[in-house]
Amino acid sequence: MAERLLLRCRDIPALRRLDVYLQNGGYEATRKALTQYTPEQLIEMVKASNLRGRGGAGFPTGMKWSFLPKQTAKPVYLAVNADESEPGTFKDREIIEDDPHQLLEGIIITAFAIRCHTAYIYIRGEFAHGAQVLEDAVAQARHAGFLGSNILGTGFDLEVWVHRGAGAYICGEETGLIESLEGKRAYPRIKPPFPATHGLFGCPTIVNNVETLACVPHIVARGADWFRGIGPEKSPGPKLFCVSGHVVRPGTYELPMGTPLREIIYTHAGGIPGGRKLKAVIPGGASMPVFTPEEIDVPMDMDSVQKAGSFLGSAGIMVMDDTVCMVWTLLVLERFFHHESCGQCTPCREGTGWLEKVLRRLEYGDGSGTPRDVDLLLNIAGNMMGTTICALSDAAAMPTRAFVTKYRAEFEQHATRGRCPFRPAPEPARAHG
Amino acid sequence: MPTVEIDGRRVEVPDGETIIQAAERLGVEIPHYCWHPGLPIAGNCRMCLVDIEKSPKLQIACNTRVTDGMVVHTTSEKTHAAQRAVLEFLLINHPIDCPVCDQAGECKLQEYYMDYDRQRSRVPLPQKVHKKKAKPIGPLVILDQERCILCSRCVRFVDEVTHTSELAFYQRGDHVDLDVAPGKVLDNKYSGNVVDICPVGALTNRDFRFHARVWYLERTPSVCGACANGCNIEIYHREGRIFRFQPRKNPDVNQYWMCDAGRMSYRDLQGEGRLQFPFLRGGAEFSRATWEGALGQVAGRLADLTRGNGAGGIGIIASAQASNEELFLLRRLASRLEAKLTGIAWSPPDADHDAFLIKADKNPNTRGLAQQGIAQGAGELLTAASRGELRALVLYRADVTHWCDEIAARAALERVPFLVVLDSHQRESVEYADAILPVATYAESDGTFTNHAGRVQRFQAAVAPPAEVRPGWQVLGGLLALVAGETSPVGAEQTFAALAEESAAFRGLSFATLGETGVASLAPS
């Protein structure tokens, strides 16, 4: 598969305009879905495609849709997770800004399949431009009859609302997102019950990532078999990989699921600049365990990466060369989680703060560090795993465990010396005041 | 009805019950902060994580429903490790305030630390997060943000119980602040309850602040006498001084709560304004009497009046502040004296009330009057007195000049030849009295009140009556002995037993059956 589908916008200028989109086969998949299939058939189709969520959790999308109650007097909602906040991830942004109608098609087809008539796109507040592009696209689509009442004369009604966030990573957690949509603090909810039964306003709700929904029109257009045939069967499809850090060509790459990590880094992204050597690479966004250079032959699909000890997550590939201090890097990551912890549960609220403090003193030395700090990091992380309402605590704990375990010598050097043994990089500001 | 096994013991529970509730039935304590049986579940403190067989991760006991055959271990090493971890996390930023914190001695952080943790701190003191301390947020409550463990009990209380939403969380992560909403003050009528439910010293009572270390205080179960709701309380006291009221759980009356007015009503029970000694009038002056002397005089005069003229000469006004036992003895006295016994239950015309606990009737025993058939006719009796139709008037806990028409009342008190005032506090009527007999408050003697719904509840003596004050049943028994030569039951319990035997409303009841939470009685009026 060499053609770009999800990133067609790179080959077709101004694809965000409805007239250009229509000229390039736009809304044909929507027409096909709404006129040739029943909602149940569409759910079965997406199930058969083995499409898995591209937001980070990788849950089978069709299965999630099938958790909706078969009979309900309540309205069903679709919440599009456009909160893209996982560090190292920037794929949804491109779809939103440059191919919004692809996303809208995914929304319309999905809404039809799950019998939803109101969809909300929750877009992170920082994407001011993207929100405007989406608003324009929704207006254009509505004007042309692809949204609103009696879409394409099928009798299906759907309204799409664009809702901007206000700068919190935790709003990307599906129940945090729902709380925020309801106008409350984004405190994730205890699960069960899951959004499919008790979601937005207490009604059945599906929350799907932007890239996930962008795959849906292609599945309808070319079939579940086609989709399932790209990459490994249990984790198939075209995938957007975000490559950042020490590479010649950082950016987003559309490649089949299962492309080896080595190929992505060295072939597509051009390898490490300046002749330097690879030291570490995070495969799936800041929350996922880091890989050493020995581990990069892993195929980049959800099951292979999991087998190798990490997660594909949001496919935010962060490449680090040998000038990078691993302690400093972990400090930057943990500072992020400390800043973003909502504060609801004890282990995450206190643990993220503690991790940042320990790492800060390991790196910059304030006299309070001890050699026991390295094991302390592991101990704190261990107490943060599996004990909280949402996964942010695990997201903060996993990188800690992976970094300390795989680069232990470097951490111990810092602990013994009392500060960073390399020329320390500039100190990141404290997470809170 | 699923059966669950907790620490090797099985119990069958109703559908939908959680592990923490099932454990309570077995008397197994699962440590927790954010859970409270009177509030919606939050599940955020993570202290109640327990080990469930076949579950790979620990689960919170407060939100996990029991399924049939579930096996739970609350003392396994996994559970203990989680408890220690959560306690350590809570203590990272918690200020070392114990020496100056009112909560010490009833603090769940202290308790659980001693029971489940006891490890040294691994965080240097200067690195703790600092927030606002000693910030008054309402008339009754003062906030220390650093001590707050963000359990959200108080937020849920003002959202779901009082629906006033004065409190909320602001900011994120370990910098979250509990605070009042901008421009708001925590001044709803139940604000004191947030102090009770706060597991730590973040929210404390301004009235009680720094007054006493709680481990020196005794606790006596009782009921609040400030209105007809009869909220169950605990009286905290030491060496004769009452320090505070706190609500006591009663699912049928007040659940876990009490109003601020009732909470603060302890202050009226002691101090200045109390009658302390028996007094007899000699001419224009009062002179202090012994109980023997005073009772003798009063009984003698009343008995004379009865023998002299037959019915109609003596009036007794008993208020709804009197206990059921006192009313029973007053009825006997009235019968022996052939006196007219009438009742009064007065409340301020604009008395506060709501749909929750606060009743407009500010008397604890109005129903008790009705149950013993004492009609509310104080006004007529006073009119009769002012017309000179009464030879003697006995006021029992009745502040008539304040509660009835002032002019008429004063006229009555002036006119009546022999006035006996039995009360706990000084009233204007005392100035007109010929005999003053001080009786104890409900905090100083045993007895029962019947609340607005007909529920009979015990109150118990917490402190001894001051000076030479005596319990009402004792004084009335003494009068009965002198007036009619009869022996009355000794003590409130026996008096109640006599009342139960004779009265349909109290049939079958006893102090034993009333227990600590009372019993709904039969037809009230």
The alpha carbon of B12 is separated from its chain's Cα centroid by a whole number of angstroms, namely 34
Cβ–Cβ below 8 Å for A190 and B63: yes
Q: What is the pLDDT of residues B196-223, one digit of tens each?
A: 999 999 999 999 999 999 999 999 999 9
CB of A56 less than 8 A from some CB of B: no
pLDDT at position B525:
47
Q: Mean pLDDT over all residues of chain B? A: 95
Q: Pick A389's closest partner by Cβ from B44, B47, B58.
A: B44
Cβ–Cβ below 8 Å for A341 and B47: no
Cβ–Cβ below 8 Å for A343 and B171: yes
Chain B residues at the A interface, defined by Cβ less than 8 Å, are: 41, 43-47, 49, 57-58, 60, 63, 82, 85-86, 88-90, 92-93, 122-124, 127, 129, 149-150, 169, 171-176
B80: tokens are 């203990």
**Lowest-confidence segment of A147-151, A424-428, B390-394 by average pLDDT:** A424-428
pLDDT at position B522:
67
Residue with tokens 């202090």: B288
Q: d(Cα B463, Cα A21) in Å, to the nearest integer? A: 85
Beta-carbon count within 10 A of A14 CB: 10
- Cβ atoms of B83 and B39 closer than 8 Å: no
**What confidence tier does A389 reach under pLDDT thresholds 50, 70, 90?**
very high
Mean pLDDT confidence for A352-370: 91
Cβ–Cβ below 8 Å for A347 and B85: yes
- Virtual torsion, Cα A251, A256, A262, A266, nearest 10 deg: -40
Q: Pick A185's closest partner by Cβ from B93, B169, B174.
A: B169
- Cβ atoms of A101 and A21 closer than 8 Å: yes
Q: Pick B89's closest partner by Cβ from A190, A344, A351.
A: A351
Nearest to A359 by CA among A311, A321, A396: A396
Cβ–Cβ below 8 Å for A388 and B43: no
Q: d(Cα B78, Cα A383) in Å, to the nearest integer? A: 11
Indicate whether B524 pLDDT > 90.
Answer: no
Q: Pick A342's closest partner by Cβ from B90, B122, B172.
A: B172
pLDDT at position B307:
72
Mean pLDDT confidence for B90-113: 97
Q: What is the pLDDT of residues B455-512, one digit of tens each?
A: 999 999 999 999 999 999 999 999 999 999 989 999 999 999 999 999 999 999 999 9
Indicate whether A408 pLDDT > 90.
Answer: yes
Residue with tokens 């939908």: B16
By C-alpha distance, the chain A residue nearest B89 is A350
User: What is the value of pTM for the model shown?
Assistant: 0.95
Mean pLDDT confidence for A164-172: 97
Mean pLDDT confidence for A185-206: 97
Question: Which residues in chain B are closer than 8 Å to A168, comparing Cβ atoms?
Answer: 172
Residue with tokens 């020196």: B216
* Cα dist from A12 to A90, A129, B289, whole Å: 20, 20, 109
- Cβ atoms of B281 and B420 closer than 8 Å: no
The alpha-carbon gap from A301 to the nearest alpha carbon of chain B, in Å, equals 26
State the SS3 of B208-244.
Answer: CCCCCCHHHCEEEEEECCCCCCCCEEEEEEECCEEEE
Nearest to B429 by CA among B439, B414, B444: B414
- Cβ atoms of B91 and B25 closer than 8 Å: no
**Which residue type, as a one-letter code, is found at position A62?**
G
Q: Mean pLDDT over all residues of chain A? A: 96
The alpha carbon of A32 is separated from its chain's Cα centroid by a whole number of angstroms, namely 29
pLDDT at position A424:
74
CB of A405 less than 8 A from some CB of B: no
Q: d(Cα B497, Cα B143) in Å, to the nearest integer? A: 48
Cβ–Cβ below 8 Å for A354 and B123: yes
CB of A343 less than 8 A from some CB of B: yes
Q: d(Cα B230, Cα B228) in Å, to the nearest integer? A: 5
pLDDT at position B124:
85
CB of A347 less than 8 A from some CB of B: yes
CB of A133 less than 8 A from some CB of B: no
Q: d(Cα B246, Cα A334) in Å, to the nearest integer? A: 44
**What confidence tier does A423 reach under pLDDT thresholds 50, 70, 90?**
confident
- Virtual torsion, Cα B495, B498, B503, B508, nearest 10 deg: 100
Residue with tokens 């809208």: A104
Mean pLDDT confidence for A61-74: 96
The alpha carbon of B110 is separated from its chain's Cα centroid by a whole number of angstroms, namely 27
A73: tokens are 């007097």
* Helix residue ranges per DSSP H, B161-290: 193-197, 260-264
pLDDT at position B396:
98
3-state secondary structure of B69: coil
CB of A359 less than 8 A from some CB of B: no
Indicate whether A433 pLDDT > 70.
Answer: no
Nearest to A284 by CA among A263, A262, A306, A267: A306
Q: d(Cα B464, Cα B478) in Å, to the nearest integer? A: 19
* Cα dist from A28 to A36, A94, A143, A160, B237, whole Å: 12, 22, 17, 19, 80
Cβ–Cβ below 8 Å for A350 and B58: no
Q: d(Cα B65, Cα A176) in Å, to the nearest integer? A: 23
Q: What is the pLDDT of residues B161-181, one digit of tens each?
A: 999 999 999 999 999 999 999
CA atoms within 13 A on the CB side of A258: 12
Q: What is the pLDDT of residues B14-59, one digit of tens each?
A: 999 999 999 999 999 999 999 999 999 999 999 999 999 999 999 9
**What confidence tier does B308 reach under pLDDT thresholds 50, 70, 90?**
low
Mean pLDDT confidence for B74-93: 97
Of all residues in chain B, what percent carry a pLDDT higher than 90?
A: 94
Q: d(Cα B511, Cα B493) in Å, to the nearest integer? A: 6
pLDDT at position B64:
97
The alpha-carbon gap from B81 to the nearest alpha carbon of chain A, in Å, equals 9
ipTM score: 0.94
Cβ–Cβ below 8 Å for A351 and B129: no
DSSP string, A89-112: --HHHHHHHH-HHHHHHHHHHHHH
Mean pLDDT confidence for B259-286: 95
Cβ–Cβ below 8 Å for A190 and B43: yes
pLDDT at position A3:
84
